[in-house]
Structure 1
């Protein structure tokens, strides 16, 4: 797998961690989750900037945001008991399908 894919995956994971900590930060009133938010987003944006050296911004952002949405929704389901209705699940299936189409069939994805 090309190295830039690992940077993109690191950007996605750190964004998911930061967003999850954002919910736990209680509007930045709790110190440790607030630090995790800032550090997590800083890592995520740095890793995105590295990925953008070899992939187009539209593709990078589509993959980053799409997989981030899925990850945060699944963590919300597991950690916070947030339920997903049929429309939400269908939408997420479409997001994953779009990411797969981009990565498997698009020559714009940089691999």
Structure 2
């Protein structure tokens, strides 16, 4: 069962998913700390390159099926024009100011 984005527990994660699904690069960048990092399937990636390729230029979309760790860990069906749909896991580290300093994703 899909969790409505508006009902996601963590405000930063909710903003992240909202920005991804709206293809809103400015809102996406606003929720990230300036020195944010990320990994995909356990390998650190260049955040700007990865997000452009996997989210914005390929119309990425997240349907969240489950959240844990206070809303900072998600299981989601992620789809984009490059890879189609896959079951993915996401975990987020959020700083004291409410901005994401790191996210990790990969196939679930």
TM-score range, shorter chain: 0.3 to 0.5
Greater C-alpha Rg: 1
Q: TM-score, normalised by structure 1?
A: 0.34
Of Structure 1 and Structure 2, which has the larger fraction of its residues in strand?
Answer: 2
Q: Of Structure 1 and Structure 2, which has the larger fraction of its residues in helix?
A: 1
- The alignment's TM-score, normalised by the length of structure 2, stands at 0.34
